[in-house]
Amino acid sequence: MTAKYRKAPSGEWLGYPFLRLEDISQESFQFHKFTALSLVENRMGRVYLRMEHEFYQKFLKAVRKRYGNISASNVEKAALEAVKNWVEEALAE
């Protein structure tokens, strides 16, 4: 009697330059969603922004006014919104 093995998982998605969660079909990563999510988020673009202290305080005040608090997710939302607006304006020219 020969042992039955499951089909070997494909590792092709690991090389995707633009990885989405639905690209990951390997069952162990579907079971561990946070591991798969980490792989996807690690491929996302990043912009690191340094601000003078006074401007940064104004930025945080604006974030608090719009979103209610200055949690990391709200700061990220505000920064992403500003970048998206700038990109749309720059591309419209």
DSSP state of 42: T
Q: Give the whole-angstrom CA distance, residue 90 versus residue 24.
A: 34
Interhelix angle 72-92/53-67, nearest 10 degrees? 100
Q: What is the per-residue pLDDT for 70?
A: 95
DSSP letters, 24-92, are ---HHHHHSHHHHHHHHHTTS--------HHHHHHHHHHHHHHHSS--HHHHHHHHHHHHHHHHHHHHH
Per-residue pLDDT tens digits for 43-55: 778 888 999 999 9
Give me the mean pLDDT over the 23-48 stretch.
71
pLDDT of 4 strictly over 80: no
Is residue 3 over pLDDT 90?
no
pLDDT single digits (tens) 61-90: 999 999 999 999 999 999 999 999 999 999
Predicted structure pTM score: 0.60
Is pLDDT of 58 > 90? Answer: yes
